[in-house]
Amino acid sequence: MFEISFIPAFKDNYIWLLTRGKRAFVVDPGDAAPVIDRLVADDLRLEGILVTHHHADHQGGIAALAARWHPVVYAPGNESITGCTHPLSGGESIDVLGQAVDVIAVSGHTRSHLAYVAPGLVFCGDTLFGAGCGRLFEGTPAQMTASLDRLAALPDETRVYCAHEYTAMNLPFALAVEPDNAAIRERMAKVSALRAAGLPTVPLHLGEEKATNPFLRCTEPAVVAAGLQHAAVNREKVEIFAAIRRWRNDF
């Protein structure tokens, strides 16, 4: 298995660096400069890029990286991705530094968003965040609900490598949805300590997300009740998700 570390970018992005010896892949390189600095400093050879979706903060650095290292670029085939060499739609298995990685479709944030799954881990871009999920810029509540269900079906021990440090920002909303959820209060204390020490909250633990993330808990009675209070017209999971997502947009 490859080793994983992060390269910080912009205000709160994580560009994931996968290495095996001196071979490297990166995930969602929105900015080339910090990636180049890291690759050069560690004498790494960039062999490939994994892209989850087309937003600029996830693909903006591809052209400069491709010009220097000529990596393969795996990306959603139905989105405009600079330099894509291997268009994907979900359902494929690809080789990343000798490790088989499954590609799953997780539309919602964008129409063709992808996630990349290896044993015990997933790179999910902007679909699932710490205590939150991505905004629905192009997809529908039904699509995002199905995508989150696909991620939630992974083993609880799965490490979730999302693309932004949003956990501390999201937890107050999670508590507003479920004010009696002790696990959320415990997580808030833990996250506060991590951030005060300058440490990341990512990778996330999928089991913890299932216990504290309202968007993975849309069938729980407290979340259903909150959704009904915020314009959900029935108790169906998609309707509850849509109401909670709209509430989060204005929170």
Among 31, 54, 113, 126, which one carries the catalytic annotation?
126
**DSSP code of residue 164:** B
Tell me the DSSP string of 4-36. Answer: EEEEEETTTEEEEEEEETTEEEEE--S-HHHHH
Give the neighbor-by-neighbor strand order of the sheet with 159-162: 93-96, 99-105, 114-118, 121-125, 159-162, 204-205
Among 28, 31, 54, 58, which one carries the catalytic annotation?
58
- Tell me the C-alpha distance between 46 and 20, whole Å: 11
Among 12, 53, 95, 156, which one carries the catalytic annotation?
53
Among 28, 31, 113, 164, which one carries the catalytic annotation?
164
Q: Does the annotation count 205 as an active-site position?
A: no
Among 31, 54, 55, 113, which one carries the catalytic annotation?
55
Among 28, 31, 54, 57, which one carries the catalytic annotation?
57
Distance of CA 150 to the CA centre of its chain: 13
Q: Does the annotation count 55 as an active-site position?
A: yes
Among 95, 109, 149, 230, which one carries the catalytic annotation?
109
Q: Does the annotation count 57 as an active-site position?
A: yes
Compute how many other C-beta atoms are within 10 angstroms of the C-beta atom of residue 56. Answer: 11
- Tell me the C-alpha distance between 50 and 102, whole Å: 12
Sequence letter at residue 138: E
Q: Does the annotation count 53 as an active-site position?
A: yes
Q: Does the annotation count 113 as an active-site position?
A: no
Instruction: Show the CA angle centred on residue 56, arms to residues 139 and 43, nearest 5°.
Output: 130
Q: Which residues, at least 6 apart from 178, have a Cβ–Cβ distance to it below 8 Å?
A: 184, 214, 217, 220, 222, 223, 226
Q: Does the annotation count 164 as an active-site position?
A: yes
Q: Does the annotation count 109 as an active-site position?
A: yes
Tokens of 21: 């010896």
Q: Which residues are catalytic?
A: 53, 55, 57-58, 109, 126, 164
